[in-house]
Amino acid sequence: MNLRTTLDHQFSKRIQDVFGLKTAPLTLDDLKSTLSERLTGGGVEVEDLFAPRETRHEVEFAGEVRHTHCALDALMLPFLTGQEVTLRSQCPHCDHTVTVEATRSDFRSSPPEAVLSLGVSREGTGPAQQYACPFINLFPSREHYEAWATDTSEALIIMLSLSQAFSLLGGSACR
């Protein structure tokens, strides 16, 4: 899937509802534009990305170890602050740890074939932390994502490579 691929209508509509968007993103490129506006326009507060308790997404950021609501929240930090992050995220399928070191301009993952799920619950309204974050995770491989996705019928989800996820947030390079 590239950023110009048309999104499933139901997925697109749920993303609009859960994230309170004016219009439903028809493509990932549309979602990238919306995210870019929020990241550069003050629509996302850094402190809102951090969870009040431990989660499976642990970040080293600004000399502290903290937890974010989801993997994407952690990956947004370099774009909001210009500071590097190291994310250690447990796979929801097997608890294997995926590590991502990210800056505004590039990232490195271990394992290199790690992927990200981008998802949202099929029903319900309320905070994204409740209706999207449980379905935005890192996986050590496509196979782990697919096994988890098969058992996750309560959500609409798509898989992104980390290059696609990074590009979705506004980055352009990877190493």
Pick from 136, 175, 129: which is nearest to 155 by CA? 136
Residue 135 has pLDDT above 50, yes or no: yes
14-49: b (≥16 Cβ within 10 Å) or e: bbbbbbebeebbebbebbbebbeeeeeeeebeeeeb
Q: Which domains does the chain have, with CATH numbers?
A: 9-46+54-169 (3.30.450.410)
97 φ, ψ to 5°?
Answer: -90, 130
Looking at per-residue confidence, does 127 or 97 come out higher?
A: 97
Work out the pLDDT band at 14, boundaries 50, 70, 90. Answer: very high
- Residue 75: phi and psi, rounded to 5, are -75, -15
- Residue indicated by tokens 């989800």: 157
Cα angle vertex 112, ends 108, 118, to 5°?
85
Please tell me the pTM assigned to this model: 0.91
Place of tokens 């870019």: 36
Torsion of CA 82, 2, 11, 119, to 10 degrees: -50
Flag whether pLDDT at 41 surpasses 90: no
pLDDT at 175 over 80: no
Mean pLDDT of the chain: 90
Phi, psi (degrees; rounded to nearest 5) at 138: -105, 145
